[in-house]
Structure 1
């Protein structure tokens, strides 16, 4: 065999190896998965009409362009998102099904649900954080109550006024309501609904004396004169509701704080598929139109990836654990 023949054979083998490596890299790249044109399903554990539903539909519309495939919002309301979580856990781990969920899925429910049907550490794969959000307390627009002091006085004077609507039992607004009652020195009893929209409807219909929910679910009805938000849990007044004082301004600094929402996939979803979703989500949340819409609704865009989400969830879990124990809530 001549030197030239050996050299040619060597180059052929090297080229073949390089081509094989390139094909393998392409098959594993996020782009390869992003070009899957099958419809993807975005699970949402809340009913249509609430703020989470509005965000999910906004993101789904934008994500279809980034991913190159339709993204269909699939509402599976109930149990604060846990019904949808059960569906996600058993969904194909191939990037075709993801879930838009509140942080409570990973950081709160382990302390409030006695028999949780999933393990956040084993059954979920983080994709990225969507937004942060504060909480608010509101009354009917026809109520004579205009501030927290008047609200507390009414609750102390009449036990029928010491109840608050919440979008789900054991959900974050539930514990913010309890924390507010503890700080105010009055026992407040939660009335659970199935989502934010029913809470707003009950407030507008004077069916409940007060409601505690994510601020974003109350912004539009407050601006429309249908309900009256009395306080928000932000450190400074929220730009969406500049006329509403914070809990801290009214003497309840301990009720300051918020939560977050994020995208998750079933555990076992291939890393390239997770990367494709994470990149697409980050790109969507960087769009000015999306940022402005989220801010208008009362949310603060984040747009971070899997590692940030995992760290955020762990830190929030420590915070919720302390709040739940302090409230005396018994896991149900």
Structure 2
């Protein structure tokens, strides 16, 4: 009797070991993109999905789940099984900014996700209509201080990264510049180009062609370093606001609890791919710089960004109606 029990225990242990070592992936993988098809996140995510399908030998299906500033798709990914068969292509919004704005979110970026790698990063740029007599950031600040409350900046909406950048600028410089929130990037850009908005924070890919054509003028980059596309434009940090950085970034996450060897495999494939000539070319077209850092670096970025945005929201007393 004892011998039969012992044999049964040994067989169970062997079976468990085999199950634990089941090949990955064992079925198609779902890449959740928390925005509609055709946007920047979708454009960056799809080639990564295609590459992973080729490298891993299983189809990677893109699942666009837009809504609620990216929170719908992020929650779906967070609630998925932690087996490596669901990955999230997230932006800095879902991973950090929303935490500061929505205290009752249905997921926690730190507790519910394991970081894999940062895909890329793109700065915002403060631009002005040519009718505004400001050639650089220092002249813009001087003009705002000379005429308190007379100058305004446009964003794509309250709670956006553009809004955060504008309010942080005001906190650091003491200027009284009015925030005008538009309902999306289209109306914002139309009013800027038409001279109805004197200044605006834009995503660099949106602003670039209009800067080059002379229809708007770039006065400051929100990135830590100057942009490769416009090296003549100084950063906010260089212009009297040390430590200023508000950039949009993209990263890959998996549900918390996913095995380390799966995270390691995904990191190796994706971080190498974003540095290939093919992907660097795609990203350059969007004004995005490739990153491909470690999971640990991405985890630290998420924590630091959450702390930064919470501080800005609290100090600027930002609330969403």
**Above 0.5 in TM-score?**
yes
What is the CA–CA distance in structure 1 between the aligned matches of 2:186 and 2:19, rounded to whole Å? 48
**For the structure 1 residues 119 and 21, does the alpha-carbon distance in structure 2 shift closer, same or farther, using more than 3 Å as the test?**
closer
What is the CA–CA distance in structure 2 between the aligned matches of 1:61 and 1:189, rounded to whole Å? 44
Residue ranges of structure 1 left out of the alignment (5+ in a row): 1-15
The partner residue of 1:185 within 156, 174, 195 is 174
**For the structure 1 residues 250 and 268, does the alpha-carbon distance in structure 2 shift closer, same or farther, using more than 3 Å as the test?**
closer
Cα deviations across residues 249-302 of structure 1 (Å, max 9, x unaligned)?
A: 444445345453211223344555444433321231231332344345333322
Larger Rg, first or second structure (1 or 2) = 1
In structure 1, the residue matched to 2:5 is none
| 1:41 corresponds to 2:31 | yes
Helix, strand or coil for the counterpart of 1:64? helix
The partner residue of 1:316 within 287, 299, 305 is 305
| 1:278 corresponds to 2:267 | yes
Answer with 252-261 or 279-288: which moved more: 252-261
Helix, strand or coil for the counterpart of 1:56? helix
**For the structure 1 residues 191 and 296, does the alpha-carbon distance in structure 2 shift closer, same or farther, using more than 3 Å as the test?**
same
Helix, strand or coil for the counterpart of 1:187? coil
| 1:242 corresponds to 2:231 | yes
Output aligned runs, 1:169-318, within 5 Å.
169-192=158-181, 199-206=188-195, 208-225=197-214, 227-253=216-242, 255-256=244-245, 258=247, 260-295=249-284, 297-318=286-307
Helix, strand or coil for the counterpart of 1:229? strand
| 1:107 corresponds to 2:99 | no
| Greater share of residues in helix | 1
TM-score normalised by structure 1 residue count: 0.74
- Total equivalences in the alignment: 310
Q: Is the 8 A contact 1:232 1:245 kept in 2?
A: yes
Residue ranges of structure 2 left out of the alignment (5+ in a row): 1-10
Helix, strand or coil for the counterpart of 2:122? strand
The partner residue of 2:136 within 137, 143, 147 is 147
What is the CA–CA distance in structure 2 between the aligned matches of 1:196 and 1:69, rounded to whole Å? 37
In structure 1, the residue matched to 2:69 is 80
Output aligned runs, 1:47-86, within 5 Å.
48-49=38-39, 51-86=40-75
The partner residue of 1:125 within 111, 114, 117 is 114
- The alignment's C-alpha RMSD in Å is 3.7
**For the structure 1 residues 75 and 198, does the alpha-carbon distance in structure 2 shift closer, same or farther, using more than 3 Å as the test?**
farther
Cα deviations across residues 117-155 of structure 1 (Å, max 9, x unaligned)?
A: 222233223222212333211235676654345645379
What is the CA–CA distance in structure 2 between the aligned matches of 1:206 and 1:67, rounded to whole Å? 51
The partner residue of 1:164 within 147, 154, 159 is 154
Q: Is the 8 A contact 1:138 1:231 kept in 2?
A: yes
